[in-house]
Structure 1
Amino acid sequence: MSHINVLDPGASPLDYYGFELRRHREAAGLTQRQLGDIVNYTGSLVGQIETARKLPTQEFSERVDAALGTGGLLSRLVALVMRSQLPGWFQQVAELQARASTIYCFEMGLVPGLLQTEAYARAVLGVLDRQNLEDRTAVRLARQGIFTRAEPPVFWAVLSEAVLLQETGGPGTMRGQLAHLLSLESDPCVNIQVLPFSAGEHAGLQGSFDIYRFASDPAIVYTEGYGSGHPSAHLDTVKDCSLRYDHLQAAALPLKDSAELIRRVMEERYGDQLA
């Protein structure tokens, strides 16, 4: 008789997900292998998710919800599971991003996480630490789900030109990443401006930062260090960073000119064929 791992559903969102998955599967009279066959995944994967040893994906959850008639329960849990896997210091920030009505982002050397492709995110997260890299990448990409909700936030990004030139993950990864930025050009909720080197000294020289604005709560400024985040609702801080952001947007290229620069860098520096 095989040993069945008993999960405490209150231990974590991942444990709760696994507990509910097993409960509904057994109620349907299916083995892990049988459910796997129905949803086109292996029974082994079903077992790993049930025992909280593997993170569920949105696609897996939607297929299982349909197969077991759970009314979308597992699909709704995915965002909570993914957020719980973030470093403790970043979980609050992910919650702020999920609640914000408008996000203003200034980045000096990196494509913002909310705009990263899978390959780019993997390259960034894999620096000095490749442990559980696939799961950590999936967790980062799951945060981008805020753009698919019924009322997504308006996202403004000002990126230093250095972001385009800092080769991350190799030429193929950079081609894919810049192509992804260009694909967002027609999305009215996502606006990307590039701050060119020719702008010289600028209001963001002290470092990258975000501003989160909400429908009914005070705005919050977020800055980040190595392994730590610093959200602040201090009025003077918010006022100062809001002024800085206004100056950064004024110094940056207009949206269409920014897209043209991104396209030119993609073609001239990384080639024009996606890999």
Structure 2
Amino acid sequence: MSAADELDPTASVLAFFASELRRVRREAGVSQTDLARTAYVTPSLLSKIEAASRVPSQDLAEELDRSLGADGHFTRLWPLVIKHAYPPWFRPYVELERNATVIRTFQVQFVHGLLQTEDYARAVLSAGRPDAVEDLLTARLERQRLLDQDLPPRLWLVMDETVLRRVIGGPSVMHAQLAKLVRAAANPRNVIQVVPYSAGAHAGFGPFTLLSFAEGADVVHEDGFSRGQLLADPEDVQAAVRSYDLLRAVALSPDASIEMIIAAMKELSP
């Protein structure tokens, strides 16, 4: 008996998705190999998804519906699956981020997750030696879909120069990541600024993100050692806003920041 046959569909949302996939596929008389081919994934990945050991992407959920004629069944299940792919402490932030109209973030070590390339994100996530890098990667890349909406949130990214200088994943991966930042900066809804080393001490003692909404008060997400925390107390929010204003004041202008990013890219070129 396979691991997929031993699944308890009530154990988790992912297990339910896996058991439903196996049920619908078998009822349709389709083998894993044939479904993998029509859904444009490897048989190995499909087997892991049916065993509830991998999280499916939204694109794959849509392909499963198309291939199996499932009338949107897996696409409707997918939001529940991806929600539970995030660590429990991070899920409230993801929900708030999805509804934000303005995202202001300061980063001291890595590019913000919303602008990470797949290879860069994999390198960042792998550094912590987690048990499920690929699932965490899928979840992170799916978060980026909110920037592809018809009216995405306005994004203001301030980062320490260290983010540009720390080579993550090797020169080619880092070069591609910096190139993505340059492309993102060309979008009028995005602003990217770099706090140069020459600024000396500044108000950003650690990474944090301010989320603003069409209705309701701002909130702050503050990164920590093992997990972040959401802060909604007005005094905490105002302190974060003040720190962010001070960071923008000492940062390079958007144009000068892009020039620095391009210069860093050239240093990585062969």
- Within a 5 Å distance, the mapping from 1:252-267 to structure 2 comes to 252-267=251-266
CA distance in 1, matches of 2:202, 2:253: 16
Counterpart Cα distance in 2 of 1:152 and 1:233? 23
Counterpart residue identity of residue 80, structure 1: L
Q: Which moved more, 1:89-98 or 1:10-19?
A: 10-19
* Rounded Cα–Cα distance in structure 1 between residues aligned with 2:242 and 2:177: 29
Q: C-alpha offsets along residues 62-121 of structure 1, whole Å, 9 cap, x if unaligned?
A: 222222233434234434323312222222222221221211101112211111112211
Distance 2:41 2:165 in 1: 39
| 1:26 and 2:35 matched | no
Task: Give 2:239's aligned residue.
Answer: 240
Shift of residue 6 of structure 1?
5.2
8 Å CA contact 1:100, 1:212 repeated in 2: yes
Contact preservation (8 Å) 2:4, 2:52 = no
Alignment partner of 1:126: what SS?
helix
Please list every run of 5 or more consecutive structure 2 residues that lacks an aligned counterpart in the other structure.
none
Rate the CA distance shift 1:162–1:59 in 2: closer, same or farther, 3 A.
Answer: same
The alpha-carbon deviation at position 228 of structure 1 amounts to 1.7
Aligned to 2:46: 46
Counterpart contact for 1:32–1:44, Cα < 8 Å: no
Amino acid at match of 1:63: E
What percentage of aligned pairs have identical amino acids? 40
Q: What is the CA–CA distance in structure 2 between the aligned matches of 1:5 and 1:164, rounded to whole Å?
A: 48
Tell me what 1:80 maps to.
80
Deviation string 1:106-147 (CA, Å, 9 cap, x unpaired) is 111221111111221122122241533233222222221221
1:186-205 → structure 2 map (5 Å cutoff): 186-204=186-204
Question: How far 1:34 sits from its partner (Å)?
Answer: 2.9
Distance 1:13-1:146 versus aligned 2 partners, 3 A rule: farther
In structure 2, what residue type is equivalent to 1:258? S
Give how far 1:2 is off.
6.7
Secondary structure in 2 matching 1:211: strand
TM-score under structure 1 length normalisation: 0.88
Query: CA 1:164–1:117 in structure 2 vs 1: closer, same or farther (change >3 Å)?
Result: same
User: Which stretch shows the higher mean deviation, 165-174 or 224-233?
Assistant: 165-174
Displacement of 1:266 in angstroms is 1.0
- Aligned AA for 2:227? S
Matches of 2:101 and 2:254, distance apart in 1: 21
Note if contact 1:220-1:231 (Cα within 8 Å) is conserved in structure 2: yes
Q: CA deviation at 1:199?
A: 2.3
> More displaced, 15-24 or 177-186?
15-24
On the 8 A contact 1:102/1:154 being kept in 2, the answer is yes
Alpha-carbon distance in structure 2 between the residues aligned to 1:41 and 1:170: 27
Task: Tell me, yes or no, if the aligned pair for 2:3 and 2:51 is still in contact at 8 Å.
Answer: no
Contact 2:55/2:85, CA 8 A, preserved across alignment: no
Q: How far did residue 19 of structure 1 move?
A: 2.9
How many residue pairs match? The answer is 270
Task: Indicate the SS of the match to 2:179.
Answer: helix
1:171-228 Cα offsets, whole Å, 9 max, x none, are 2221111111112122223321111222233222x22211111122221111111112
Residue 228 of structure 2 is matched in structure 1 by: 229
1:10 Cα deviation after fit: 4.0
Contact 2:157 / 2:193 at 8 angstroms: preserved in 1?
yes
Partner of 1:113: 113
- SS of residue matched to 2:206: coil
Across the aligned residues of Structure 1 and Structure 2, the Cα RMSD in angstroms comes to 2.3
Q: 1:208 to 1:66 in 2, by over 3 A?
A: same
Query: Which deviates more from structure 2 when the two are superposed, residues 154-163 or residues 167-176?
Result: 167-176
Corresponding residue number in structure 1 for 2:216: 217
Cα pair 1:158 1:248 within 8 Å, conserved: yes
Task: Give the distance between the partners of 1:168 and 1:42, measured in 2 at CA.
Answer: 28
- The answer as to whether partners of 1:79 and 1:142 remain within 8 angstroms in 2 is no
**Could you give the per-residue CA deviations for residues 126-171 of structure 1, whole angstroms, max 9, x where no partner exists?**
2241533233222222221221234322111101111111122222
Amino acid in the other structure paired with 1:226: F
Corresponding residue for residue 207 of structure 1: 206
Contact 1:221 1:232 in 2 (8 A): yes
1:125 counterpart residue number: 125
Deviation at 1:252, TM superposition (A): 1.6
Aligned to 1:184, what secondary structure does the other structure show? helix
